[in-house]
């Protein structure tokens, strides 16, 4: 590509709406353009990098024996109602009606569509297993789109779906896809951490996320440096607490005027916060049926994990909200003084499992300006549900080995789900086994956020000057900077190098614009092409400046080092490195 004839524009200033460096650099490098909040278009160079990522994914999926198809983004509501997800999915799903008032959605995912296809086409065990995939645009009506491609309303995703005869077959498909995901991200030179994850709205009984390590990532990961356990905070469980050996003391109601917070009541009573009970007042608002007030209780220094609470209650995430303070009277209490002892019947009580092992705690007395000391589970209060509903804290014991948990951040770029029969059962995806008995198919679902991965690569590979593309996903492998287009020797040598590289199937840019060298150098750094050849004053001698932007890929050069070498040697080095690493 010749930049003098290319559609190409870079920005010198940082766009006001951009926060993350990937967002800033993609906009400044002219690789994406914002159309509306959370909606972006891909410009030529950005699209080329995106296609490199897609092709790596496609290559690994094809090698696994997956077959590529392409389904409509527009999906009929009937399929989602059949699976039970039409109401469960929540306000993030784009819902539309046609002129005949028939309901559709713009697909955030495609479990229902793929299940519908397979149930109509596959009826025998001889046709299983099957794994189909697509690379397609998805839609999610984010309440607050931000971070560019990280949380957008429209995004590109690879989603694949496996169908097996039984759970053992699903386990094999899942493990095979897990290994393929490791290959995908390794080939992209993306540093990822596989972690246990919550299944969320997808459902199923097992899931892993692939998290790209990044300080600015929106995913929090709890991990153990000792045994390598790693999980999202929604999924992470704490090691079991040893039952307290304290003797149970008599309950004692105490006057605690104006102490509406854990910190204030513990200071007033001279107790540590881990000897108190925190109350969280919630409400379940189901798509159908009556609302239900919920009181959740956990140790005073803990935070409620809403995802764990949702899972414990067996509801959709959007159905659980914080209750209004005015509703506290309905449960026989006062906000700021809610406790598990003496609540009115009818409220659902959920207690964190940690409280069962603790003794002599302080909690609200359900009366303004009063608390109760020495509350003990079983003797003084009970629960409808006992479950792990707390957020794991850094320093908590690892559930596997007992060592201290640490936190890190990252970007979710892929996720795998063992769906089991979650969709095949309500949608009747059935096959006949060897004895002609009808059996439910076992499903797996596997996604990679293609556009998110583009941003994640930049989060891990950039500096103060711009992007530093890893060679396998770089839109171009090399940029030839023609310092003075009016110099015949320079132009002739630049053209010669350009043609040699192009004929060797190297993705190459020739910057032949009539611009100052400084502008060209800044643009080259900004767009992050791995190798740069500067054709300047030594052109008459057949020599060029050769610069490595990022990794040297085994060449005898340091990162960002510029050396003067023979042009033929530069061409030879590039052809050799690209053939081995892309």
Q: What distances in angstroms separate CA 190 from CA 410, 534, 546, one per listed residue?
A: 12, 29, 26
Token look-up 């010749």 returns: 2
Q: Tell me the C-alpha distance between 275 and 358, whole Å.
A: 8
> Which residues partner with 151 through β-bridges?
146
For strands 219-223 and 230-232, give the pairing: antiparallel
Q: What's domain 252-391's architecture?
A: Alpha-Beta Complex (3.90)
CATH top-level class of 3-237+407-459: alpha beta
pLDDT at 243 (0 to 100) = 87
**At CA 309, angle to CA 341 and CA 420, rounded to 5?**
140
Residue 17 structure tokens: 């709406």
Measured distance CA(250)–CA(445) in Å, rounded = 53
With beta carbons less than 8 A apart as the criterion, state whether 108 and 141 touch: no
Is residue 15 within 8 A of residue 452, CB to CB? The reply is no
Q: Which helix (H) or strand (E) holds 457?
A: helix 450-460
User: Mean pLDDT in runs of 10 for the chain (582 residues)?
Assistant: 91 83 94 93 96 98 97 97 89 94 96 96 95 97 88 95 96 96 97 82 73 87 87 80 89 94 94 94 87 93 92 88 82 85 89 95 93 95 94 86 88 94 95 94 97 96 94 96 93 94 95 93 94 92 89 65 86 89 75
205 φ, ψ to 5°? -125, 25
Topology classification of domain 476-581: Rossmann fold (3.40.50)
H or E element at residue 86: helix 85-88
Long-range pairs of 487-496 with CB within 8 A, sequence gap ≥ 24: 487/539, 489/539, 489/540, 490/535, 490/536, 490/539, 492/539, 493/535, 493/539, 493/542, 493/544, 493/567, 494/535, 494/539, 496/567
**How far is 315 from 286, CA to CA, in rounded Å?**
8
Is the separation of the CB atoms in 141 and 106 below 8 Å? no
Structure tokens at 358: 């603790």
Q: Do domains 3-237+407-459 and 252-391 have the same CATH topology?
A: no
What predicted TM-score, i.e. pTM, was given to this entire model? Answer: 0.86
Residues 173-178: contacts with CB within 8 Å, 24+ apart?
173/129, 173/131, 173/444, 174/206, 174/416, 174/418, 174/444, 176/64, 177/64, 177/131, 177/416, 177/444, 177/446, 178/208, 178/416
Strands 478-482 and 531-535: parallel
* For the chain, domain boundaries: 3-237+407-459, 252-391, 476-581
What's residue 217's pLDDT? 83
Strands (E), 65-206: 67-68, 74-76, 94-97, 103-106, 130-139, 154-164, 192-196
pLDDT the model gives residue 327: 81
Nearest-angstrom CA–CA distance, 203 and 565: 58
Under DSSP, is residue 263 helix (H, G, I), strand (E, B) or coil?
helix
**What's the CA gap between 61 and 446, in Å, rounded?**
11
Q: What is the DSSP letter of 248?
A: P
């Amino acid at each position: 590509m010749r930049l003098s004839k290319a559609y190409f524009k870079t920005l010198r200033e940082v766009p006001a709406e951009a926060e993350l460096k990937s967002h800033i650099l993609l906009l400044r490098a002219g690789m994406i353009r914002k159309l509306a909040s959370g909606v972006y278009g891909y410009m030529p160079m950005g699209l080329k990098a995106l296609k490199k990522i897609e092709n790596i994914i496609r290559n690994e999926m094809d090698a696994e024996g997956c077959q590529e198809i392409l389904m409509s983004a527009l999906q009929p509501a009937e399929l989602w109602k059949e699976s039970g997800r039409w109401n469960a999915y929540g306000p993030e799903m784009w819902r539309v009606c046609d002129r005949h008032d028939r309901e559709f959605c713009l697909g955030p995912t495609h479990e229902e569509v793929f299940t519908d296809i397979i149930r109509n086409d596959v009826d025998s065990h001889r046709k299983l297993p099957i794994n189909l995939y697509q690379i397609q645009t998805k839609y999610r009506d984010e309440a607050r789109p931000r971070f560019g491609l990280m949380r957008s309303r429209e995004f590109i995703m690879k989603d694949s779906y496996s169908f097996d005869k039984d759970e053992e077959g699903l386990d094999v498909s899942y493990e095979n896809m897990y290994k393929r995901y490791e290959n995908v991200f390794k080939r992209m030179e993306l540093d990822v951490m596989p972690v246990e994850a919550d299944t969320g709205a997808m459902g199923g009984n097992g899931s892993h996320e692939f998290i790209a390590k990044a300080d600015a990532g929106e995913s929090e990961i709890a991990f153990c440096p000792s045994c390598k356990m790693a999980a999202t905070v929604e999924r992470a469980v704490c090691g079991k607490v040893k039952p307290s050996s304290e003797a149970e003391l008599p309950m004692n109601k105490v006057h605690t005027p104006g102490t509406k917070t854990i910190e204030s009541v513990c200071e007033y009573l001279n107790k540590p916060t881990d000897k108190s009970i925190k109350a969280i007042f919630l409400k379940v608002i189901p798509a159908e049926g009556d609302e239900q007030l919920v009181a959740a209780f956990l140790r005073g220094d803990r935070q409620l994990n809403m995802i764990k609470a949702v899972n414990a209650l067996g509801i959709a995430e959007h159905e659980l909200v914080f209750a209004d303070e005015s509703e506290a009277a309905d449960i026989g209490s006062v906000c700021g003084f809610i406790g598990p002892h003496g609540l009115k019947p009818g409220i659902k009580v959920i207690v964190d499992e940690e409280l069962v092992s603790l003794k002599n705690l302080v909690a609200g007395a359900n009366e303004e300006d009063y608390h109760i000391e020495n509350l003990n589970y079983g003797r003084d209060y009970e629960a409808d549900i006992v479950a792990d509903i707390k957020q794991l804290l850094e320093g908590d014991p690892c559930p596997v080995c007992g060592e201290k948990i640490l936190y890190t951040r990252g970007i979710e770029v892929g996720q795998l789900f063992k769906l089991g029969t979650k969709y095949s059962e309500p949608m009747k995806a059935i096959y006949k086994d060897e004895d002609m008995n009808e059996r439910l198919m076992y499903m797996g679902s596997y996604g990679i956020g293609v556009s998110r991965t583009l941003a994640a690569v930049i989060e891990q590979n950039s500096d103060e000057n711009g992007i530093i593309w890893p060679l396998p996903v770089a839109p171009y492998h090399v940029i030839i900077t023609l310092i003075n287009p009016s110099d015949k020797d320079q132009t002739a040598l630049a053209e010669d190098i350009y043609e040699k590289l192009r004929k060797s199937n190297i993705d190459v840019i020739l910057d032949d614009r009539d611009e100052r060298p400084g502008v060209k150098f800044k643009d080259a750094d900004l767009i992050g092409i791995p190798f740069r050849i500067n054709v300047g004053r030594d052109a008459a001698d057949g020599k060029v400046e050769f610069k490595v932007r990022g990794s040297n890929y085994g060449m005898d050069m340091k990162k960002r080092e510029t050396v003067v070498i023979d042009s033929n040697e530069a061409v030879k080095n590039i052809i050799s490195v690209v053939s081995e690493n892309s």
